[in-house]
Structure 1
């Protein structure tokens, strides 16, 4: 017997979080999410997303065994910004079974329709400000920090249900000694030119983190306002994310461009914490996971270049290249083995070209899909 139920209890929520661990038990590239972080993310009242929007979680069963999961997401802030009736899906995981996938999406779409929504896009967990995209190219290794992972058959499941491409996202990779030294070397000359306009590049000041966070929040919401599907973070959402990232932040990998004391752009890279998380069984910090986390941080030898943005009016001046150059310089100085720059929109040449010029190699693609309901 096959059925789909709404998640309504703490026990069911724990099962929802744990299902991917069983689904990917034999996949060497799978990285479990931390249970406590996923629990807070999916519990109304714990994450500020719920102050303006709603989600509903669903589990699919075959007899007594869980065989799939999905979240239906009503992001009301998104529809306020774009004036549409878009719904979203996220946290989708499923066995390779077309009927189970169809049952999950039927339940999710019914819930979205009841909210007055007419289209569904995804995967997004909860929005493009969090983990998003379906891996469609590059299944040959584990994901890096805060990037999704899924089996190759997911795309077929979604296309058979009627989903089509909305937009593709890119991930680039640098490896030790395999980037363009000449391009990085030009950064000093570009910086000298920028200084004539009173634009300087500096690292984040961790002793003044709260003030820096506020300035970065303003830049983030301005610099990404033209990105497809971007919704500005509320103050609480940005602070929630920033405080989480602070736990693993290396100030050498958070650099800012400012003019006369006003921040006009920034780039952020984070340690690839997935090197440790993939060793933490079922995402549990206890009894041994916390020790692995604390002792393994200093051994991380890869980074993810997570964010780069410059506010309108300061683009095409070389600031983007300078910010990336500083990240790559720190990458080399710390003897890191690899860096991933992700994600960028497939058509965003303003960002993609500087990445490629410095030597980034396109090695993975992700897709956000859409379907009318």
Structure 2
């Protein structure tokens, strides 16, 4: 089978890039599209700081007899890639029809692309940017829709990619918690003990002071994850920049639900946090992934209609670990969420590497269970 690889250079190519998954999943009721503008922001040199950090990214269409049958992006990000020995580039945004040989053609092209840039290999599917979105090939949990920031794949994707003889690089888990079920008794005992201590305070994130609270969260997060040894977390953690946190605040402020996002303080110092948003894919499913001005009415009252929400980030400053603060933050957020947003039935989040035993144990102690698995592969160019 002969395929042609077309670099995306025109607006029509960009449209084809987005229309392909629309066609592939049009009969699949579980698929929910990402917002088109969020995908485009990944490839926007002004909005994606990875370009300014020395990164390079190109995206392509796969053609067969002039018809679009696949798409992908390849990229290098020296700040992240050089943490591996040998350094590894990336591939992502892979979508393809169920055609024998199509994945092999994509990977063959990606190997050549990386070799030309002095790379010995690459991993993927991953994102050219932050590590919590557009990540992996789904391998488990197909009978449920993909929550905000995550992707959905046909079951045949795994088979097509396995035909290219990759190495498994990592599995990433998404956890779920049924909010209509009580929290574990052990967790409740821990939180009752902590609530009685005068030097510990927990409050919702303050929407009137988001820049201040955002900076607190950024510092906790960076300390929490940079402190973990490499085997316990995603290997390419590089920290959240001030620019990234500002962009996140701007994007999420309209849909942020403060009661789902607690911050804990010890003697007045920011110590632990959880930040969540409603599942915005419940809107993208209705708009086809667009969000034009005439579609903004979908946002009205959305926070009172959403059924799922996703914790985007959570962490505890290593100076305050071992005190049960994660349990307290989670339990307070759980209590406030049930009180203020009874429409929310399911928490889905985590986005935890199988290697991150610290976070996995914490989530499972809170009563969360693995709901979906996303796999990342590695290919060597030799």
With the length of structure 1 as denominator, give the TM-score of the two structures. 0.92
Distance in 1 (CA, whole Å) between partners of 2:113 and 2:254 is 36
Matched, 1:144 2:147: yes
Separation in structure 2 between the aligned mates of residue 286 and residue 240 of structure 1, nearest angstrom: 20
Q: 1:83 to 1:264 in 2, by over 3 A?
A: farther
Q: Note if contact 1:190-1:322 (Cα within 8 Å) is conserved in structure 2.
A: no
Provide, for residues 190-210 of structure 1, a one-character-per-residue CA deviation record: whole Å limited to 9, x for no partner: 4247x46x3432221211111
- Report the secondary structure of 1:233's partner residue: coil
The Cα of 1:10 is off from its aligned counterpart by 2.6
1:62 to 58, 64, 78: 64
Please give the residue correspondences for 1:204-223 in structure 2 after superposition, counting only pairs within 5 Å. 204-223=205-224
Query: How far 1:95 sits from its partner (Å)?
Result: 0.8
Deviations 1:106-132 (A, max 9, x none): 222222222211121111122424331
Contact 1:191 1:200 in 2 (8 A): no
Q: CA deviation at 1:89?
A: 0.9
Match of 1:228 among 234, 248, 266: 234
**2:366 matched residue in structure 1:** 358
Residue matched to 2:312: 306
Does the CA contact (< 8 Å) of 2:210 and 2:249 recur in 1?
no
Distance, in Å, in 2 between the alignment partners of 1:240 and 1:18 is 27
Q: Deviations over 1:75-97 (max 9, x none)?
A: 12203555651111110111112
Matched residues in 2 for 1:311 and 1:112: separation?
37
**Is 1:257 the equivalent of 2:258?**
no
1:346 paired with 2:354, answer yes
Cα-to-partner distance string for 1:238-284 (whole Å, 9 max, x where unaligned): 32233222231111111112233332221112111111211112x22
Query: What residue is the counterpart of 1:20 in the other structure?
Result: 21
Structure 2 residue corresponding to 1:159, chosen from 162, 171, 175: 162
For residues 113 and 180 of structure 2, the distance between their equivalents in structure 1, rounded to whole angstroms, comes to 51
Please give the per-residue CA displacement for 1:275-328, whole angstroms capped at 9, x wherever unaligned: 1211112x2234753322335443112211222211223222211111221222
1:272 equivalent in structure 2: 279
Helix, strand or coil for the counterpart of 1:12? Answer: helix
Alpha carbons 1:179, 1:359 under 8 Å: kept: no
Please, which runs of 5 or more residues in structure 1 have no aligned partner? none
How large is the RMSD of aligned CA atoms in angstroms?
2.2
Gaps in structure 2 of 5+ consecutive residues: none
- Secondary structure of the structure 1 residue equivalent to 2:315: strand
For 2:379 and 2:82, the matched residues in 1 are separated by: 20
Aligned twin of 2:323: 317
Aligned residues: 370
Give the superposition deviation at 1:135.
1.1
The aligned counterpart of 2:122 is 120
Deviation of the 1:143 alpha carbon: 0.7
Structure 1 pair 13/118, CA: closer, same or farther in 2 (3 Å)? same
Q: Is the 1:171–1:364 Cα contact (8 Å) retained in structure 2?
A: yes
Contact 1:59/1:104, CA 8 A, preserved across alignment: no
Task: Give the Cα separation in 1 of the matches to 2:82 and 2:246.
Answer: 21
